[in-house]
């Protein structure tokens, strides 16, 4: 093979990072946890919206839901419900 010829390498999709790095405990500092009842989670999300904005909180919830859908489907479903709540009430 000549040195000028480009080789194409396959990338493994599981090792390729599709969503940027997330900062841990971004929503936890406002009192958000998936184990809390919906009303407490929603009040924590309202506090987070006042700092990050509705779109920022929406994107955080969507990213975490996407990354955890195979590992923890029940937790991912909670993130999706909260994401939809932010979309309906804050955007």
Q: Is residue 81 part of a domain?
A: yes
Structural domain of 62: 34-90
Each residue's pLDDT, cut to its tens digit, for the chain (91 residues) gives 556 666 666 666 566 556 777 788 899 999 999 999 999 999 999 999 999 999 999 999 999 999 999 999 999 999 999 999 999 999 8
Q: Is residue 45 part of a domain?
A: yes
DSSP state of 29: G
Q: Is residue 3 part of a domain?
A: no
Going by C-alpha positions, the residue among 52, 43, 51, 50 that lies closest to residue 85 is: 43
Query: What is the number of domains present in the chain?
Result: 1
Whether the pTM exceeds 0.85: the reply is: no
DSSP character string of 2-20: -TTS----PPPTTTS--SP
Going by C-alpha positions, the residue among 90, 88, 30, 33 that lies closest to residue 56 is: 90
Q: Are 72 and 83 in contact (CB under 8 A)?
A: no
């Amino acid at each position: 093979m000549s040195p000028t010829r480009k080789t194409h390498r396959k990338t493994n999709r599981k090792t390729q990072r599709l969503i940027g790095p997330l900062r841990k405990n971004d929503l936890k500092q406002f009192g958000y946890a998936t184990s809390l009842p919906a009303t407490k989670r929603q009040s924590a999300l309202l506090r987070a919206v006042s700092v990050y904005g509705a779109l920022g909180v929406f994107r955080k919830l969507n990213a975490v839901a996407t990354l955890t859908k195979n590992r923890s489907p029940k937790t991912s479903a909670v993130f999706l419900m909260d994401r939809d709540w932010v979309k309906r009430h804050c955007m």
